[in-house]
Amino acid sequence: MTTQDNMGKVAVLMGGRSAEREVSLMSGAGVLKALGDSGVDAHAFDPAERDLAELKRDGFSRCFIALHGRFGEDGTVQGALELLGIPYTGSGVLASSVAMDKVMTKRIWSAVGLPTPGWRQVSSAAETHAALAALGSPMIVKPAREGSTIGLTKVVDAAQCDEAYRLAAQHDPLVLCEQFIAGDEVTCPVLGTGDAARALPVIRIVAPDGNYDYQNKYFTDDTQYLVPCGLPEGEEARIQALVLEAFQTLGCRGWARADVMIDARSRKPYLLEINTSPGMTGHSLVPMSARAAGIDYPALCQQVLAAATLDNA
């Protein structure tokens, strides 16, 4: 049993160099305060400002990864911590890397029969036009390896394709075009590893004008988060089972959060992506879902930290 007393000196990795730096700093500040208030010897550590080798030199015994996006959620920091021999929260190198790449994630999910919207990987504006013809309108165009809806465009006609591709390609040369699913937008966290992993309550997201963008995610109070989700009977349990299978298929561990769209007509759920280092801000969804399951924010932070490990531990 891991307790506050034997967790040792803990680094909360926050900030970093990704496009999600601002959100990561907010997540990290919340985690740092919660762990400190719980008696954990926790310290902020920004990899954009300090060399990761200092973790070993300064005697840190485990890391809580509150980094989001590339250089934090994509297996790179996880690999460095493996080399340093310092246990860390969340998924290992391979699962982190795969989950960050939405195209690779879709390939794996599709290979085992898990539902995900139709897609095309594109490398030019011309291919984006071709994707719209194949997938139909509306279509989502986004960087394949970013989060927080950064660089995302909802394309409704061909006139938008050039600009949508340009915006996404600013953030990642790998651009994903995805069939748009009209219906309920939900998200579902998972806590634990292997057979002990369990899906937490589903949250239904109702954003202004259906636009759950970066601003509405983090900086306004206009978005509604419904827990209980209010879905028809049986749907929540089916989504929880689907998300748990998606988590385990990618080899994730510790915790994660999967985003799902439910087709309004067929009620079929479609997996969009899975986040292996979820947000922990005041607007974030994992703490909200955990609270509905009877786990408050400090207890959630402690539970995630207690599960910190290495790939070959």
The yes-or-no answer on residue 257 being catalytic is yes
**Model confidence over 188-209: pLDDT tens digits?**
999 999 999 999 999 999 987 6
Q: Which of 101, 178, 236, 273 is catalytic?
A: 273
Q: Are residues 21 and 68 in the same domain?
A: yes
The yes-or-no answer on residue 88 being catalytic is no
pLDDT at position 91: 98
pLDDT at position 4: 62
148 pLDDT higher than 80: no
The yes-or-no answer on residue 275 being catalytic is yes
Segment 22-34 mean pLDDT: 96
Model-level pTM greater than 0.95?
no
Q: Are residues 102 and 230 in the same domain?
A: yes
Q: Which of 21, 70, 253, 257 is catalytic?
A: 257
Q: Are residues 210 and 140 in the same domain?
A: no
Number of domains in the chain: 3
* 65 touches 77 (CB < 8 A): yes
The yes-or-no answer on residue 279 being catalytic is yes
The yes-or-no answer on residue 218 being catalytic is yes
pLDDT at position 312: 85
Is 219 contained in some domain? yes
Q: Which of 24, 148, 216, 289 is catalytic?
A: 148
Q: Are residues 175 and 226 in the same domain?
A: no
Range of the domain at 188: 98-115+182-305
Q: Are residues 10 and 37 in the same domain?
A: yes
Q: Are residues 53 and 145 in the same domain?
A: no
pLDDT bucket at 1, cuts 50 / 70 / 90: very low
Q: Which of 73, 82, 101, 259 is catalytic?
A: 259
Is 312 contained in some domain? no
Q: Which of 18, 20, 90, 284 is catalytic?
A: 20
Interior/surface letters 36-57, b for 16+ CB within 10 angstroms, e for the rest: eeeebebebbbbeeeebeebee
The yes-or-no answer on residue 148 being catalytic is yes
Is 313 contained in some domain? no
Q: Which of 28, 90, 147, 279 is catalytic?
A: 279
**Model confidence over 211-267: pLDDT tens digits?**
655 555 555 677 899 999 999 889 999 999 999 999 999 999 999 999 999 999 999
The yes-or-no answer on residue 273 being catalytic is yes
Is 60 contained in some domain? yes
**Model confidence over 73-96: pLDDT tens digits?**
999 999 999 999 999 999 999 999
Is 311 contained in some domain? no
2 pLDDT higher than 90: no
Is 310 contained in some domain? no
32 pLDDT higher than 60: yes
Q: Are residues 200 and 169 in the same domain?
A: no
Interior/surface letters 248-272, b for 16+ CB within 10 angstroms, e for the rest: ebbbbbbbbbbbbbbeeeeeebbbb
Q: Which of 88, 165, 212, 218 is catalytic?
A: 218
